[in-house]
A and B are shown apart, each in its own frame.
Chain A
């Protein structure tokens, strides 16, 4: 298969970026999207040029490192798939592909297609955990948890923190990511004790990082490779309101 790539190139945070035209030829339909970029990079390197910088690691859709907006869609056109698991058989031969980084104010571009997602770590720091020191845990089966609750907590916890929700949202909102982290713990007895403080602190940090507000367009859900449910956002809003009101009293 042949493609006409238009790839976003940008040397550093402060420099101006541009689209570079890169035609690619003879790509097998069983090649993954990132393997296609590997092939492009191989040619660039051997012709003495700088290869395209992009993040990737596990290449099996779980580490959350890969990103890319492909033809305007975060992680490309296929539903519930990360870029690393997207195969070229999903595209038409001869197609033009625009490849861009995840764009959002709190995700500054570091180089080419790599953006700085450290804001997510700082939100995590604000409270996405149960405060339990090593060694102080009671025996595991002491507190039964209903299968439904455990499964729901798991569904929230499958978020891979890739940032597609932010990149696809017109407001650059991180509500789906933050909501999923908050909802996971609120479904489990272990997470109940700190849940109000958690919601307040994490939402405050999210705002501080400059993520926008949620205006319920649902593009985050549409672009989420792990299909994290919108209920997580509702859960976050509910908990935050309850906690905020309580705090004012």
Chain B
């Protein structure tokens, strides 16, 4: 790789998908990769930002290979990363249940689930390595749920007719993360990985056309420093918290990705946001987050509403003949296990038409009565015990006795930084893994596939592709001190400009208003009119932030409001791009439902002629805080193996 190659590809996006048969693409590519000799690896510094499933697995694997790794996390420990909260499970095409699963079928379900808006080659590779992930995790001592014979148990998730989901009761993310965290800490102990806790990435240093390091802030001392590396791996998760209320942890943010975006990394499909169908409904204005009730519950729970409008009766008072099991009625073959986007939209349709239940009529029921009758309370408690007690703690209602009240909530973002097949951004030397990239889920992610993707990227893809990059970089990887010094100074200045804000609104107050705007206009249903309007409103709110926000204290100690302020400032820019992207995509697909484009059955109406592409947005310029301009690049999606069809789960 010569230095003359322009790093930012202005007009074309090279996805670097290997030639050849779909089945052989990854093998061929791995064989064509250049390798770094074991004894040379210690000469390469790699920075990993974030230590959720993707970041921890990448850092551990690269440390094992002998690279010099630095890992930065915002928490007090890598084990707090939000992957820990994933509940239901992880998919793999092991076909242990003998129900006809295969790599091909997992691939097909995933690409169809994503409504044909992801890359064939990426999705196929994900299915190919899925089995290795389970092997790796079992070897690490992840205590997966098992059958009485001692072998691994499986359950079903939405969008699939086979049982391929591995799980550890309702705490799969926790157990997989502890596995990856253990592997990471083992490398820390061995000295191959240096761990920086309470450190937040504020900027990417781009010099000579490639990512050369990061600027980070020590959240305890407030000091800003830069670190150099031959490659930077970003695994900082998704941006669902732009909505303020979501199932994401409070500290989840877009800042890592966004600062890279402003340095030239393209942001792909920002409007693809997953709204999860089964969450505990909001109870009041004070609420700070929404709690997910795992999709696995739809294995045994039946979703229903009342067939009478504005029905406030308790579930037990609504007789069987007045209950509408609408998912089973509309989708007889998938029933309660339709994909998330479909289930969420149907819940919204029911509620909007007035058939919602509960005190506010803004919920639907998820009912376990029959499952408890058939399997017994003990069996149900074994599968979902922790979820049932969590529900009871929050709502004060016992789901063994009365159905859960649920409603959709923001959960995951399919969009993210654009990457090629090798998980490298258009910015050379920047690799993006897990939820932070856009690559594998198209316009809708199937349940139990996020954990699969995070670990696939970290354990089984990046160790190969980064080696190829570093081998080609070779001795050319020198650094210019001046660039790092300037980058640090810039961040110091921008923190000071935030601290000057002593207005009349807290960061949370502004963030909540941003969330409301997005939920109404860039949520489950979008329209041209609302998208045009909301862009103006976001720009206004951004202005208000820079005039009216109040940020207390100083920057030389732990200042949580200052941390939030930087993140919300980024959300206020991202929000505008999300609305813009949603406006430009004049079709409906997966999660992206445009009022104007629907079939007569109210299903998403794709337009493959014009929109079978990835929208990758380039940050062009900004003047002040008000006017930002972006340029859209399109990566055409080619389907050689599957034929995109109208998704049907009927």
Contact = CB atoms under 8 A, between A and B. Distances in A.
Given A144-B149, A154-B169, A184-B143, 16 more contacts: A42-B509, A51-B552, A57-B249, A62-B85, A62-B171, A63-B249, A87-B393, A114-B558, A124-B79, A130-B182, A134-B136, A135-B459, A140-B134, A141-B96, A154-B143, A158-B171
A139 B79 CA distance: 26
A184 B181 CA distance: 15
A134 B459 contact: yes
Contacts of A244: none
Contact of B182 (A44, A114, A128, A136): A128
B76 A39 contact: no
A49 B552 contact: yes
A157 B288 contact: no
Interface string A102-141: 0000000011001011101100111011111111111111
| Residue of B84, B460, B553 ringed by the most chain A CB atoms within 10 A | B84
A73 interface: no
B288 to A, nearest CB: 5
B390 A85 contact: yes
Given A65-B76, A118-B76, A153-B141, A138 B185 contact: no
Interface string A231-245: 000000000000000
21 contacts: A34-B288, A45-B550, A48-B552, A55-B76, A58-B82, A58-B84, A59-B250, A61-B390, A63-B82, A63-B84, A63-B85, A117-B76, A118-B77, A125-B185, A129-B141, A129-B183, A131-B186, A134-B60, A137-B132, A147-B146, A157-B143
B182 A144 contact: no
B576 to A, nearest CB: 26
A38 interface: yes
A30 B395 CA distance: 8
Contact of B557 (A12, A27, A129, A147): A12
B394 to A, nearest CB: 7
Interface residues of A, number: 80
| Residue of A11, A44, A114, A154 ringed by the most chain B CB atoms within 10 A | A154
Interface in A24-83: 27-28, 30-32, 34-35, 38-39, 42, 44-46, 48-51, 53, 55-65, 80-81
B132 to A, nearest CB: 8
Q: How many residues of B sit at the interface, in one of the four size bands?
A: 35 or more
Contacts of B131: 140
- Which 8 residue pairs across A and B have the least CB separation, nearest first? A144-B150, A129-B182, A137-B139, A153-B143, A154-B143, A137-B135, A134-B61, A57-B249
B561 interface: yes
Interface of A: 11-12, 27-28, 30-32, 34-35, 38-39, 42, 44-46, 48-51, 53, 55-65, 80-81, 85, 87, 89, 110-111, 114, 116-118, 120-121, 124-126, 128-141, 143-147, 150-151, 153-154, 157-158, 160-161, 184-185, 187-188, 190-191
B33 to A, nearest CB: 15
A161 B79 contact: yes
A55 B151 CA distance: 39
Nearest to B153: A147
A237 B240 CA distance: 44
A135 B138 CA distance: 12
A157 B141 CA distance: 10
B109 interface: no
Contacts of B249: 57-59, 63
B96 to A, nearest CB: 7
B251 to A, nearest CB: 5
Contact of B286 (A35, A51, A110, A157): A35
A118 B250 contact: no
B185 A124 contact: yes
A134 B553 CA distance: 45
Interface in B110-152: 131-132, 134-141, 143-152
A134 B75 contact: no
A227 to B, nearest CB: 11
B508 interface: yes
A145 B78 CA distance: 29
Contacts of A80: 389
A166 B140 CA distance: 27
A188 B390 contact: no
Contacts of A114: 558
Given A12-B557, A38-B508, A57 B139 contact: no
A229 to B, nearest CB: 15
A146 B150 contact: yes
A87 B85 contact: no
B94 A140 contact: yes
Contact of A133 (B64, B78, B287, B557): B64
B506 interface: yes
Interface string B498-527: 000010101011000000000000000000
Interface of B: 57, 60-61, 64, 75-80, 82, 84-85, 94, 96, 131-132, 134-141, 143-152, 168-169, 171, 174-175, 178, 181-183, 185-186, 188-189, 195, 197, 220, 249-251, 283-284, 286-289, 291-292, 389-390, 393-394, 396, 459-460, 463, 502, 504, 506, 508-509, 550, 552-553, 557-558, 560-561
B85 A42 contact: no
A70 to B, nearest CB: 16
B543 to A, nearest CB: 20
A136 B178 CA distance: 19
Given A89-B396, A124-B182, A140 B550 contact: no
Contact of A111 (B82, B390, B557): B557
Given A35-B288, A62-B174, A129-B183, A46 B550 contact: yes
Given A53-B558, A81-B393, A134-B459, A121 B197 contact: yes
A127 to B, nearest CB: 8
Contact of A185 (B141, B149, B195): B141
Contacts of B292: 60
| Residue of B138, B189, B292 ringed by the most chain A CB atoms within 10 A | B138
A117 B77 CA distance: 8
Contacts of B147: 147
A3 B284 CA distance: 19
A39 B288 CA distance: 10
Contacts of B96: 141
A116 B220 CA distance: 10
Contacts of A157: 143, 168, 174-175, 178
Nearest to B395: A30
Nearest to A153: B143
| Residue of B143, B289, B506 ringed by the most chain A CB atoms within 10 A | B143
Given A53-B560, A133-B64, A30 B284 contact: yes
